[in-house]
């Protein structure tokens, strides 16, 4: 019998019998070895089958204050051994020195332009630009609380999510903030049905997934060989 896909709404006005077609997405190559668990998805609007990484370090980013006189930059950002969650403030006292204050308003130390600054909270390097900094110029360094959260794996990331450790089990929308979702932590999956960041290639992703018990397999046709001579 040939079946036509249909949509059945709630509370039909009259009794009846309808048939629907189930169309598998072929993500799972072998259901016997699946391991799944609930996760917190941290960002993005992602499709079932998206390759995920888990953040094992607090994400950190810096923003220059609009209206700064100097056009220097801040880079080499990382968190220290005991970072505080929130905004660190860097304020210039002259062209080459900045006071660093943590999210609780406690002075952390003084940073010198051109010299790496290290602390138990944050680490960074200020670099002078063509226009020198002036007293009052500032930067904000934000440290987010996201350890343990899953996001789409990017090979070039440095917060732990560069390791592809899970496959998203269902479509999920975390564009407005973290949401609960489900993920596969082990199993065999159809490589052609996975969704992954452009920083990965099929070959590098397949190799990176393997240590975590996730096996990406190339699809194989179920059609009989063209030279099949069996009776």
Distance CA 152, CA 50 (A): 7
pLDDT tens for 97-109 read 999 999 999 999 9
Please say whether the beta carbons of 58 and 146 come within 8 A.
yes
Express each pLDDT in 167-182 by its tens digit. Answer: 999 999 999 989 999 9
Instruction: Examine the pLDDT at 144 and tell me if it is beyond 90.
Output: no
Check whether 2 has a pLDDT greater than 60: yes
Which helix (H) or strand (E) is 209 found in, with range? helix 202-209
pLDDT of residue 32: 83
**pLDDT tens per residue across span 45-67:** 999 999 999 998 888 899 999 99
Which H helix or E strand runs over 205? helix 202-209
Q: What pTM value is reported for the model?
A: 0.65
Q: Using one digit for the tens of pLDDT, what is the confidence trace for 158-215?
A: 889 999 999 999 999 999 989 999 999 999 999 999 999 999 999 999 999 999 999 9
User: CB–CB of 182/27 below 8 Å?
Assistant: no
Residue 31's pLDDT is 83
């Amino acid at each position: 019998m040939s079946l036509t896909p249909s949509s059945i709404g709630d509370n039909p006005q009259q009794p009846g019998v309808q048939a629907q077609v189930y169309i598998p997405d072929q993500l799972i190559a072998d259901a016997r070895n699946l391991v799944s668990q609930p996760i917190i998805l941290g960002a993005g609007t992602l499709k079932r089958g998206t390759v995920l990484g888990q953040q094992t370090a607090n994400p950190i980013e810096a923003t220059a204050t609009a209206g700064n006189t100097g056009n220097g930059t801040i880079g080499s950002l990382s968190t220290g051994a005991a970072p505080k969650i929130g905004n660190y403030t860097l304020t210039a006292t002259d062209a080459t020195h900045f006071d660093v204050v943590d999210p609780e308003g406690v002075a952390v130390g003084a940073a010198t332009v051109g010299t790496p600054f290290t602390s138990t909270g944050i680490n960074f390097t200020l670099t002078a630009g063509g226009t020198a900094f002036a007293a009052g110029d500032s930067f904000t360094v934000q440290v987010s609380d996201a350890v343990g959260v899953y996001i789409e794996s990017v090979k070039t990331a440095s917060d732990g999510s560069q390791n592809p450790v899970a496959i998203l089990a269902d479509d999920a929308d975390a564009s407005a903030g973290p949401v609960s979702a489900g993920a596969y932590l082990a199993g065999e999956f159809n490589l052609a049905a996975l969704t992954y960041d452009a920083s990965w290639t099929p070959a590098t992703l397949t190799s990176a997934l393997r240590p975590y018990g996730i096996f990406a397999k190339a699809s194989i046709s179920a059609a009989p060989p063209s030279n099949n001579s069996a009776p």
